[in-house]
A and B are shown apart, each in its own frame.
Chain A
Amino acid sequence: MRVGVLALQGAFREHLDLLGRLGVSAVAVRLPEHLAGLSALVLPGGESTTMRKLIDRWGLRDPILDLARAGAPIFGTCAGMILLARDISDGDEPVLPLLDITVKRNAFGRQLDSFEADMAVPVLGTSAVHGVFIRAPVIERVGARVDVLATLDDDRVVAVREGNVLATAFHPELASETRFHRLVATMASAFAEPGEGTSRKRHPTRRAAR
């Protein structure tokens, strides 16, 4: 099982290192051929305008959508979440519209408003997640099939999941927060090797029950 990290620009090294520390084989993705054989893809933080341009320029949009539609987990942080949104509230065209959400870019303001905060993420257990928000986006609308994973105290949504696609407005990779990546690795493993149930063998000497 190999997990790809989109490496066009941004904090991709941090995701590669974090996955490596978890014992997950992780590779940088810059061109469509780098997506072959991947079981998951991480879209890192960075500048979404830059990544949008480079995704188009190098023909990555359709192969990433194909990977997602095949069921491979896709995980976006910050700019990665903007790339995954179906709607972007300043009117920009969506890039990889895999999440039925509306995001607002730079929702908290400029760099002086960047912040750190602890928050509860019940699906990851009882201990709080430390979130690093850097010129972060926020989720303004959540579709009916989207699960909210985390909110701030003012109820603003900052982490979501829809099927095999996850996104956070903050940077777990900057806070040594490994649980999101563990979850993605587990989902990737289930995608790569579906496991029990799918290849059930009949008992060699017994007939199937009627």
Chain B
Amino acid sequence: MDIDTSTWVTKTGLAQMLKGGVIMDVVTADQARIAEDAGAVAVMALERVPADIRASGGVARMSDPLLITQIMDAVTIPVMAKARIGHFVEAQVLEALGVDYIDESEVLTPADEEHHIDKHAFKVPFVCGCRDLGEALRRISEGAAMIRTKGEAGTGNIVEAVRQLRAVTGQIRRLSTMREDELFVAAKELQAPLELVQQVARDGKLPVVDFVAGGISTPSDAALVMQLGAEGVFVGSGIFKSEDPARMADAVVQATTHFDDAKIIADVSKGLGAPMRGLESTAIPVAERLAVRGW
């Protein structure tokens, strides 16, 4: 029997298994257990949640491998970890640790101002952020097996994620109405490979799973992006910066499953305590915006 590991199907397939679920940022093994108990489909292991990275400034790097392995040992759900944009050695280290997914993330300080990681070169699958369809397709052409919007991480403000998700889904809808001979120019304008543009036009969806990240901090936020077409959500600071993380985590999981049932969303939202303190995105100096990182 021939056995093939780390194929495109197994890489994209794990993301398919995460659909309809919530991936939570955790900074300790205890938080990872809370997330798993609340029904998270995966955890993102990192040293500081984006809100703290934003607050403390400085260079944000891959987390301590010891912390990542402690979190991997603490839970049975998949564990993801972040590498800096373009920092393929951080990615090699994360692959050596055996993490289940790598997030080449704008939340960390970019290591390369021009090149993203060649993700085809890795056995471990990658998720990458995007602000629009062209950026999503460029990441997929580099080997990303899962896409998420960037939002504006650490703000607790959903507005950027909504803008980006609407950009991606709107551009997909426009492609699917185009004549075949219009796709050449569309590919040029999107700065994306023609083959991927043609595939998206034909299928009416991205060729990989598409989650939303960056700014989700209430059950209604999660349901909003699900109704807008997200296939699942990442919640960063929104869980463990809220007043009662275990209850908030549970409520966001319920609202992501029952995203089109307002009565259930209302029920799970009752008496949750304060969500994370938010940050209005226009109040952030352009130089400190994370979503503009990546090219």
Q: Which residues in A have some Cβ–Cβ distance to B below 8 Å? A: 7-14, 30, 45-47, 49-50, 53-54, 57, 78-79, 90, 105-106, 110-119, 132-135, 152-153, 171, 174-175
Contacts and interface: CB of A to CB of B under 8 A. Distances in A.
B9 interface: yes
28 contacts: A8-B257, A9-B21, A9-B41, A9-B257, A11-B16, A12-B19, A12-B20, A45-B17, A47-B17, A53-B38, A54-B257, A105-B76, A106-B76, A111-B14, A111-B99, A111-B125, A112-B98, A112-B100, A112-B123, A113-B5, A114-B14, A116-B3, A116-B9, A116-B10, A134-B10, A152-B1, A174-B9, A174-B16
Range of interface residues on B (Cβ < 8 Å) = 35 or more
A158 B95 CA distance: 27
Given A10-B17, A47-B17, A114 B39 contact: no
Contact of A112 (B13, B20, B77, B124): B124
Given A116-B10, A117-B3, A110 B100 contact: yes
Given A111-B125, A112-B98, A115-B3, A11 B9 contact: no
B140 interface: no
Contacts of B38: 53
A112 B41 contact: no
Contacts of A113: 5
A169 B12 CA distance: 18
A47 B124 contact: no
Given A14-B16, A49-B76, A115 B1 contact: no
Interface string B239-274: 000000000000001100110010000000000000
Nearest to A51: B39
Nearest to A152: B1
A102 B16 CA distance: 25
A134 B101 CA distance: 13
A6 B67 CA distance: 35
A50 B253 contact: yes
A11, A106, A114 — which one has the most chain B CB atoms within 10 A of its CB?
A114
Given A10-B17, A110-B100, A174-B16, 16 more contacts: A9-B19, A9-B257, A10-B20, A11-B16, A13-B19, A46-B18, A47-B78, A57-B254, A78-B17, A112-B124, A114-B10, A115-B4, A115-B5, A134-B14, A135-B78, A175-B9
Interface in B6-47: 6-7, 9-10, 13-14, 16-21, 36, 38-42
Given A110-B100, A117-B4, A153-B1, A47 B42 contact: yes
Given A115-B3, A117-B4, A132 B10 contact: yes
B76 A118 contact: no
A12 B16 CA distance: 9
B76 A7 contact: no
A107 to B, nearest CB: 12
A134 to B, nearest CB: 5
Contacts of A119: 1
B225 to A, nearest CB: 16
A71 to B, nearest CB: 28
Contacts of B40: 50
B164 to A, nearest CB: 22
* Among all A-B residue pairs, the 10 with the closest Cβ atoms: A111-B100, A114-B10, A153-B1, A9-B20, A47-B41, A53-B39, A115-B5, A11-B16, A50-B39, A134-B13
A47 B21 contact: yes
A9, A54, A111, A132 — which one has the most chain B CB atoms within 10 A of its CB?
A111
A136 to B, nearest CB: 10
B20 A132 contact: no
Contacts of B18: 10, 46-47
A119 to B, nearest CB: 7
B17 A30 contact: no
A133 B76 CA distance: 17
A111 B124 contact: yes
Contacts of A11: 16-17, 19
Interface in B172-217: none
B2 interface: yes
A106 B258 CA distance: 27
B1 A114 contact: no
A29 B171 CA distance: 31
A157 to B, nearest CB: 14
B262 to A, nearest CB: 14
B17 A132 contact: no
Given A49-B76, A135-B100, A114 B5 contact: yes
Contacts of B16: 10-11, 14, 45, 174
